[in-house]
């Protein structure tokens, strides 16, 4: 952020005119031009003193209506500004915004209630800073200006947009077949919890007093054991797949990240336990029905960039194949598609932002449902959505 010059264009012109008058007065012997030149220079100097001498300090606090701002989402920023000065100047304020958000963060100061407000819209995901607050004062003649920064910056996280996706026709579980959720209750009680023996380190607040009295030893509550079908979402962020590796914005990669978030959230809403990893096997998030899980995943995806190399999908999946397997990648050629395995997943869905000649057919032979990912994330999901998955292989 470049600081503004003390002299405005008008002030610079007045100073140059004053100097020019004195120079020409000596050349042509016109005494009146000396007086005019001195007057212009003096007026400019006084204007600089008017804006520079007052001592001003202030406190700035910001509140944003949403903790996490989604791309294309609009949020309200409220700024509280307390200025301490000999007099309250008439000025213009502006809050410094990064390119990742858009908004009209400027206005006239002072405000009637000491509060400033404006709306911002997420443009690009990432972690960014808003601020500091800039106050620009100008002398009454518009010759000099002063711009001061007040307060600290405020960090804002812009997360990828999550789209509504079409549900799967049939829910599939691990290793194929129709999924089911089972609950194993080892004990009874109003809390639907199972008691177990006390272990040093257990919280005293978890002691099950009824079971303790019945068994004659300390017992603590243990949550019931539940099993749910698993899904796996893999984001291939290896640098070789993307045209702009690194921190530079790439619309194709942004669409891939948005699909990754949308697919994970969608599968969780359908009852799956979802693991999200990158192509190197690094965990990006786990969704198990908690709101904090979703926020953690979106924050991790907000900071994800193309880099590194990819591992084989079979090695990423491990020993237990998931039900749905969503693999999201960038540019995919036929040889790479032929080497990409579904790792025995019940439903393999492959998305590529660019498909080379024969890549879709090669991936299809490996058992993938293939779709090319463009700007419309929901349409790409519909293209890869199996019509009937797991119908003929129901576990007994």
Which CATH number is 337's domain given? 3.40.50.410
| Phi and psi angles of residue 123, each rounded to the nearest 5 degrees, phi first | -115, -45
What total number of domains does the chain contain? 4
Could you tell me if 145 and 241 lie in one domain?
A: no
What's the rounded Cα separation, in Å, for the pair 116 and 215?
64
| Phi and psi angles of residue 184, each rounded to the nearest 5 degrees, phi first | -110, 110
Q: What angle do CA 65, 72, 78 make, to 5 degrees?
A: 25
Cβ neighbors of 375 (< 8 A, separation 6 or more) are: 251, 255
What's the rounded Cα separation, in Å, for the pair 142 and 7?
9
What's the rounded Cα separation, in Å, for the pair 257 and 382?
17
Could you tell me if 232 and 380 lie in one domain?
A: yes
Could you tell me if 322 and 289 lie in one domain?
A: yes
Tokens 């944003």 found at: 64
Write down which residue in 174, 192, 226 finishes a domain: 226
Cβ neighbors of 171 (< 8 A, separation 6 or more) are: 178, 179, 229, 270, 271, 272, 323, 390
**297 domain-assigned:** yes
- Distances 338 to 175, 178, 365, 371 between C-alpha atoms, Å: 22, 28, 8, 15
What's the rounded Cα separation, in Å, for the pair 139 and 89?
10
Tokens 């006239």 found at: 108
Could you tell me if 68 and 117 lie in one domain?
A: yes
What's the rounded Cα separation, in Å, for the pair 188 and 195?
8
Which CATH number is 94's domain given? 2.60.40.10
Could you tell me if 343 and 366 lie in one domain?
A: yes
**13 domain-assigned:** yes
What's the rounded Cα separation, in Å, for the pair 221 and 358?
57
**355 domain-assigned:** yes
Could you tell me if 125 and 273 lie in one domain?
A: no
pLDDT at position 291: 78
Q: Helices 377-384 and 251-269: crossing angle, nearest 10°?
A: 60
**165 domain-assigned:** no
**312 domain-assigned:** yes
**171 domain-assigned:** no
What's the rounded Cα separation, in Å, for the pair 336 and 276?
22
pLDDT at position 343: 86
Could you tell me if 188 and 146 lie in one domain?
A: no
Could you tell me if 196 and 321 lie in one domain?
A: no
pLDDT tens-digit profile, the chain (396 residues): 566 889 999 999 999 999 999 999 988 888 899 999 999 999 999 999 999 888 888 889 999 998 799 999 999 999 998 888 767 778 899 999 999 999 999 998 887 667 899 999 999 999 999 999 999 999 989 999 999 999 889 999 999 999 999 998 766 655 444 444 433 333 333 344 567 787 776 666 677 777 777 777 787 776 544 445 789 999 999 988 998 766 668 899 999 999 999 999 999 999 899 999 999 999 999 998 887 899 999 999 999 999 888 888 888 887 777 889 999 999 999 999 999 998 888 889 999 999 999 999 999 999 999 999 999 999 999 999 876 444 333 332
Query: What count of other Cβ atoms lies within 10 Å of the Cβ of residue 40?
Result: 22
**166 domain-assigned:** no
Could you tell me if 213 and 324 lie in one domain?
A: no
Could you tell me if 281 and 348 lie in one domain?
A: yes
Could you tell me if 216 and 247 lie in one domain?
A: no
Query: What count of other Cβ atoms lies within 10 Å of the Cβ of residue 60?
Result: 21
Give the residue among 173, 195, 177 at the shortest CA–CA distance from 186.
195
pLDDT at position 266: 95
Token pair recorded at residue 64? 């944003």
Could you tell me if 232 and 379 lie in one domain?
A: yes
Q: Which domain holds residue 216?
A: 184-226
**198 domain-assigned:** yes
pLDDT at position 224: 44
What's the rounded Cα separation, in Å, for the pair 12 and 144?
9
What's the rounded Cα separation, in Å, for the pair 249 and 338?
29
């Amino acid at each position: 952020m470049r600081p503004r010059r003390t002299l405005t264009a008008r002030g610079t012109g007045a100073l140059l005119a004053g100097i020019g008058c004195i120079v020409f007065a000596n050349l042509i012997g016109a005494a009146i031009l000396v007086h005019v030149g001195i007057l212009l220079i003096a007026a400019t100097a006084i204007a600089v003193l008017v804006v520079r001498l007052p001592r001003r300090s202030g406190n700035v606090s910001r509140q944003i209506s949403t903790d996490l701002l989604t791309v294309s989402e609009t949020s309200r920023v409220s700024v509280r500004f307390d200025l301490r000065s000999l007099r309250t100047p008439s000025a213009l304020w502006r809050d410094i915004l990064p390119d990742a958000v858009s908004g009209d963060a400027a206005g006239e100061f002072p405000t009637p209630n000491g509060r400033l407000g404006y709306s911002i819209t997420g443009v690009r995901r990432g972690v960014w800073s808003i601020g500091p607050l800039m106050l620009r004062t100008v002398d009454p003649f518009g010759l000099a200006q002063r711009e001061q920064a007040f307060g600290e910056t405020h960090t804002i996280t812009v997360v990828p947009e999550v789209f509504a996706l079409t549900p799967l026709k049939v829910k599939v579980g691990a290793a194929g077949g129709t999924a089911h959720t089972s609950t194993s209750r080892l004990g009874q009680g109003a809390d639907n919890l199972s008691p177990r023996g006390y272990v040093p380190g257990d919280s005293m607040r978890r002691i099950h007093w009824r079971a303790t009295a019945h068994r004659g030893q300390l017992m603590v509550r243990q949550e019931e054991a539940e099993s749910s079908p698993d899904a796996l979402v893999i984001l291939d962020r290896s640098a070789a797949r993307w045209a702009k590796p690194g921190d530079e914005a790439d619309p194709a990669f942004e669409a891939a990240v948005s699909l990754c978030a949308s697919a994970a959230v969608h599968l969780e809403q359908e009852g799956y336990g979802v693991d999200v990893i990158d192509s190197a096997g690094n965990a990006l998030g786990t969704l198990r029905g908690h709101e904090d899980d979703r926020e953690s995943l979106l924050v991790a995806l907000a900071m994800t960039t193309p880099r590194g190399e990819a591992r084989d999908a079979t090695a990423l999946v491990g020993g237990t194949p998931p039900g749905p397997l969503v693999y999201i990648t960038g540019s995919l050629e036929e040889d790479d598609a032929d080497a990409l395995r579904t790792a025995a997943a019940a439903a393999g869905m492959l998305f590529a932002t660019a498909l080379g000649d024969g890549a879709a057919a090669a991936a299809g032979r490996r058992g993938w449902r293939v779709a090319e990912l463009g700007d419309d994330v929901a349409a790409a999901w519909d293209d890869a959505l199996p019509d009937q998955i797991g119908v003929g292989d129901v576990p007994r």
